[in-house]
Amino acid sequence: MDKSLFTFPNASRINPAVEEWFDARPGILGSIARKWFDVMRSQGDDVREILHDHHPTACVGEVAFGYVNAYSSHVNVSFFRGTEIDDPAGLLEGTGKYMRHVKLRPDRDLDVAGLETLIRSAYADMKERI
């Protein structure tokens, strides 16, 4: 396996710490974050989760493919290998070596299909890598 992949051997199918994180964010931003993390969770029976660096993180088995985080005015849906997945809708932001994110704001329209495609692509890309 590629040594640059981010692995979490303790990731589990259902992680109580992840649920606590969402429970601590009851407003609109928490709701947006939960919605998109649920999309990550739904990608396959091999999806596992962990709270890493205070962010709900989704993995294919033990290898991370994405996470969400709620800030004071927006939510990021982030991808560990975002530079290497197709982004036909041009939603991805960031300048890191590998990471990219989509910034979601409650007062702005969102390309739902585009973000769903990114999540599917990130999951499939990581599944192929492992």
At residue 113, the 3 state secondary structure works out as: helix
Under 8 Å between Cβ of 100 and 82 = yes
| pLDDT number for residue 4 | 81
**Burial of residue 19 (number of CB atoms within 10 Å: 0-12, 13-18, 19+):** middle
CA distance 90 to 15: 32
CA distance 16 to 82: 27
What does the pLDDT profile of the chain (130 residues) look like in tens digits?
677 899 999 999 999 999 999 999 999 999 999 999 999 999 999 999 999 999 999 999 999 999 999 999 999 999 999 999 999 999 999 999 999 999 999 999 999 999 999 999 999 999 999 9
| pLDDT number for residue 40 | 98
**What global pTM score does this model have?**
0.96
Six-digit token pair at 117? 């495609």
